[in-house]
Each structure stands twice: as structure tokens, then as C-alpha cells.
Amino acid sequence: MTPRLPAIAALLCLSVSGCSAITAGNAMPTSPAPLTSPDALPTLLLSAPDVGAALASDDVVVTTDVSKAWNDSAHFADVNCLAIAGAAQQGVYAGSGSTAVHGQVLRDPPTSPEWSHYAVQAVVSFPTAQAAADFFATSQHGWAACSNRQLDYAQPIGPPQVWSVGQTSTDDNVLAVSRVQQSPQRWACQRALTVHSNVAVDVEACSLDGPTAAASAIAGQIAGRLPTA
């Protein structure tokens, strides 16, 4: 919040010409964006066609709709990098003060012989905008510590998936990082996180068509649905 400025007294003009006057007044503080209630979280998510458009696919459907965080911690030896591996992870938000979550998994229809597009979109509420901002700052440090490295994702059967994680970046208040699967397939994924007022927007988007920036695009569109000051 901008600090309130003291009133400025009008200056007396002592010269005959070239006089200018400053009017007394106070700077008005900027109003914060309204807080979003947990009940409103489901309305923030994009439609399947909008997610599909970001993924360059016109055949994406919602396969899972949840009101709790996912827990994939058992698949990773280094749980400190859980946020890089997936969106809205239980272990990532534990202790953050978050109050509610709503998320969806979207991919090619179950009737498809194989699927080549995948996304998770999630929104997480916090009690205050400051709590959300603190989570974003913590995430920036945590994601950076897990960049430029290999990430192994253990599987129930067979060898682990091996991923190469790129460098994190923050553009237009969207934190992002890409990872590429080295084996057994060549999925290219992007993780994105942004915070607006008291809501964190947490997205993962993957494609077999090559590198994608879909997660950043989806996160930005969801953030655009949040109320402004």
C-alpha cells in the first residue's frame, strides 16, 4: 500500500513573474484487489476448449475434477523438487497457510488410441494477499534450486521416467520452468505459477508435439479472471 503523504502547503509567490502554485492535497492509497473466497475457485478454471487451444489441440476433455491437492511425493527421492514435477502438490502447499484448492486434469479423450496432450489447472486460495505473495516468493527460490538438473519419476512397474529440467524464469509475474522427458517417451512439459491477490494459479501443460508454453498461457488467462482493484 502506498504510504499516505503529508499535505503540501501552497507556495507563496514572491516574484513578479514566472510564478507557479502547488495545491495542497493528499495522495490517495491504492485499494487492494478484492479477496476471492474458496467457494469461487471452481469458476476461475478455464473451459476444456480454452485449455485445448493453449495446447494446440481441439480434442481435450476434463478427466478429473478435485477439491484437494495431489500427492505424488512417493514417486520422488528429492521431495524438495516436487513443485517442478507437478501442479498443486500437497507437500508443496503444506505449511503455506493455503485454505482451499480446486483443480482439474485434462487430456485427450479416453477413447483415443493414445494421448499426446495433458494439462493440470489448479487454483489455491490463501487467507490474505500477503500469504499468497509469500508463497510465490518461496516458490521462486525453490524452483530455481531444482532447475538445470535431472529429475527421476519412479513408476510402479518398469524403470523410472527421466526428465531434464530447464532454467526457471519469471515474466509478467508468471514463474515458469520447462522439463523434457528423456525416457521412455519425449514429453515436453511446462510448469507455471502466478499469484493474484490471495489466489495462486498453479498449472502444468504437456505435449508430445515438442516444447510448449501452454502452462504460462493458461495461468495468465486464469489470472485475468480474478478481480482487480
Give the CATH number of the domain where residue 132 resides. 3.40.1000.70
Q: Which three cell numbers stand for residue 203?
A: 498449472
Q: Is residue 56 part of a domain?
A: yes
pLDDT tens profile 82-136: 999 999 999 999 999 999 999 999 999 988 888 899 999 999 999 999 999 999 9
Domain that holds residue 105: 38-223
- Phi and psi based region of residue 173 (left: phi greater than 0; alpha: psi -120 to 50; beta: remaining): left
The DSSP string of 71-92 is --GGG-S-GGGHHHH-SSBHHH
Work out the burial of residue 64: count CB atoms within 10 Å of its CB; fewer than 13 is exposed, 13-18 middle, 19 or more buried: exposed
pLDDT tens per residue, range 161-214: 999 999 999 999 999 999 999 988 899 999 999 999 999 999 999 999 989 999
Q: Is residue 86 assigned to a domain?
A: yes
Tell me whether residue 179 is in a domain.
yes
